[in-house]
Amino acid sequence: MKPEADQILMFSGLKLAAEYAPQIPTQYGQGMAQVVAALMFMSAQEYDRAADIRASENVDMRALFKLLAPQIADADLRRDLEAAAASREESLRISSLNASNEHLRKILIRLHAHLDETGADTRPVWDVLKAMAARRTLTLPG
Amino acid sequence: MSDDNLIERLETYLSNVMGIPDLEVANLSRIPGGASRETYRFRARYNRSGAEIERGLILRRDQTTSLIETERATEFRAYRAFHALGLPVPEPIALEEGSEILDRPFFVMEEIENCQVGSILSPDPYGPLREKIGRQFFANLGRIARADVDEVGLGDLEGERDPAKCWLHEVDRWEKVIDEDEREPQPIARAALRWLRRNPPPPAPKISVVHGDYRTGNFLYDTDGNMRAILDWEMAHLGNPLEDLGWAIDPLWSHGDPSRPAGTIPREEALSIWQKESGIKLDTAALAWWEIFASLKGLAIWISAAREYADGRNTDPVNAFSGWYCLAFHNKILADRLGGA
């Protein structure tokens, strides 16, 4: 579709911030319109990257689980790591990717806590967390 | 009861509590003022000793739902205490904790006029005034830290008075918020909580009133760069004064330049001013712990904001912004700090 949704959100946000918001008669209305415009800029960024972020995070977490599962003595955790590492996406819909992502994040938290408790090397987990945080960072128009 | 006759009800209330029968309320309009209270500006007009008086006042009324449950009485008492101490704080006028008058609890305070607030959306909110504002910003924070909690009448505020335990009290407080409000698993917040508990800070140098949200966006300044009002005391509590300092210098409020906390003066100058005004010798290792804590506390607040918005309880767009942009920001800060950038 041309224009794509991200372009529509970006241009509409710019119009709202620069042209429409200043015409709102109250300070409260103007302030809230500026926040809504910022949300539109953020949504424009997210439109193009949302599926990629979630799919990439899920790939990274599964790879981490596959790497570390053999080192985990806790049988329940090791089994869950192996099962999660072998899982696959059912669909590329955001709702489906989110469901996988949340399941994998729960296991990631258990794995990280276990490594913390046993004094094991947590750098591989932090590498995944840093990549996750970097992907989700948003940029606002200057 | 709708807000249609808000003006009349406010007039009746203020006439009674201020003892001014002919008080009139005019120009009532809502202004931005945070997600936990509705904020309105209005003019109060009355006659006193033959003189016509017009005064700008602010109404802060509870939302129907609130981001973080806060006590308006705490906020009101903090305004009163630090206004009396001579800090740039609006004069509180009246506190009403019942819902009979305006449907929800509220308080009224002086409006500090002809001022502006720095937005975190702005890359350079203070322009050439940033150094002058920054020096006042950190000096005033030091003065809050210096204040004796009992002498200012706030010794009974919520919080932990044992200097060795106040860090734990705060970690417990914000972990509870995350436990209650997270809608999706938060691996970085959970890792930060474990790190904070495994690496406790040294005891507090003293127990102070902690403002709780001392930052860009929560103070007013005028066109000459004078800091005129410290606002939003709703999360005030007793604790380690480094909690406020860590929050004030958090990168989220630095407008893209972490070397100039709050978007104002260089970090070393800011810390030096704070030390001089607070009378507290700064332990940099302790401050580093409180900086990690600040970002975790931020995550807890943003997780709450996201929950309010996503559940449809409070669809104020500020909650969406906080629960998305600010959450992503603090996740990045914590991952880089704890995981090694």
Q: Pick from B31, B321, B334: which is nearest to A28 by CB?
A: B31
**Alpha-carbon distance A78 to B293, whole Å?**
31
- Residues in chain B with CB shorter than 8 Å from the CB of A129 are 187-188, 191, 335, 339
- Residues in chain A with CB shorter than 8 Å from the CB of B321 are 35, 38-39, 42
A interface mutation test: which of B41, B199, B324 has the most A CBs within 10 A?
B324
Give the phi and the psi of residue B110 in degrees, each rounded to 5: -60, 140
| Residue B94: strand pairing partners | B108
* Chain A with chain B: Cβ pairs closer than 8 A: 98
Q: Taking chain A, what is the end-to-end CA distance rounded to the nearest angstrom?
A: 28
Check CB contact under 8 Å for A31 and B184.
no
Chain centroid to Cα B65, Å, comes to 18
pLDDT on residue B1: 40
* Chain B nearest C-alpha distance from A1 (Å): 27
Q: Pick from A42, A127, A130: which is nearest to B325 by CB?
A: A42
Mean pLDDT over A12-35 rounds to 94
pLDDT on residue B287: 98
pLDDT on residue B59: 96
* Chain A nearest C-alpha distance from B33 (Å): 9
DSSP 8-state assignment for residue A1: -
Q: Pick from A38, A109, A127: which is nearest to B185 by CB?
A: A109
Check CB contact under 8 Å for B121 and A108.
no
- C-alpha Rg value of chain B to the nearest Å: 20
Nearest to A30 by CA among A49, A17, A41: A17
**Alpha-carbon distance B218 to B235, whole Å?**
12
Nearest to B247 by CA among B213, B223, B282: B213
* Chain B nearest C-alpha distance from A98 (Å): 9
pLDDT on residue B70: 60
pLDDT on residue B341: 61
Check CB contact under 8 Å for B184 and A113.
no
A138 touches B: beta carbon within 8 Å: yes
- Look up residue B307 and give its two tokens: 């929950």
Taking each helix axis from N to C end, the angle separating A75-86 and A27-68, rounded to the nearest 10 degrees, works out to 110
Q: Pick from B29, B191, B324: which is nearest to A112 by CB?
A: B191
**Coil/strand/helix, residue B116:** strand
ipTM over 0.90: yes
* Statement: residue A114 has pLDDT above 80: yes
**Alpha-carbon distance B341 to A121, whole Å?**
16
Check CB contact under 8 Å for A108 and B187.
yes
**Alpha-carbon distance B188 to B141, whole Å?**
29
- Residues in chain A with CB shorter than 8 Å from the CB of B111 are none
Nearest to A124 by CA among A112, A137, A136: A112
**Alpha-carbon distance B190 to B331, whole Å?**
11
Taking each helix axis from N to C end, the angle separating B284-310 and B166-181, rounded to the nearest 10 degrees, works out to 20
Q: Pick from A39, A106, A113: which is nearest to B320 by CB?
A: A39
Q: What is the pTM of this model?
A: 0.94
Q: What is the pLDDT along chain B (341 residues), one digit of tens a residue?
A: 456 689 999 999 999 999 998 899 999 999 887 667 889 999 999 998 889 999 999 999 988 765 455 678 899 999 999 999 999 999 999 999 988 999 999 999 999 999 999 988 788 899 999 999 999 999 999 999 999 999 999 999 999 999 999 999 999 999 999 999 999 999 999 999 999 999 999 999 999 999 999 999 999 999 999 999 999 999 999 999 999 999 999 999 998 898 999 999 999 999 999 999 999 999 999 999 999 999 999 999 999 999 999 999 989 999 999 999 999 999 999 999 999 86
* Chain B nearest C-alpha distance from A47 (Å): 14
DSSP 8-state assignment for residue A22: G
According to DSSP, the β-strands at B92-96 and B106-110 are antiparallel
* Chain A nearest C-alpha distance from B341 (Å): 8
* Chain A nearest C-alpha distance from B319 (Å): 10
> At CB < 8 A and 24+ separation, what contacts does A8-16 make?
A9/A40, A9/A41, A9/A43, A9/A44, A9/A47, A10/A40, A10/A41, A10/A44, A12/A40, A13/A37, A13/A38, A13/A39, A13/A40, A13/A41, A13/A44, A14/A141, A16/A40
Closest-approach residue (CA) in chain A for B336: A130
pLDDT on residue B219: 96
Q: Pick from B198, B329, B335: which is nearest to A130 by CB?
A: B335
Closest-approach residue (CA) in chain A for B339: A126
**Alpha-carbon distance B179 to B189, whole Å?**
11
- Residues in chain A with CB shorter than 8 Å from the CB of B124 are none
Check CB contact under 8 Å for B184 and A98.
yes
**Coil/strand/helix, residue A37:** helix
Closest-approach residue (CA) in chain A for B31: A28
**Alpha-carbon distance A27 to B29, whole Å?**
8
Check CB contact under 8 Å for A129 and B329.
no
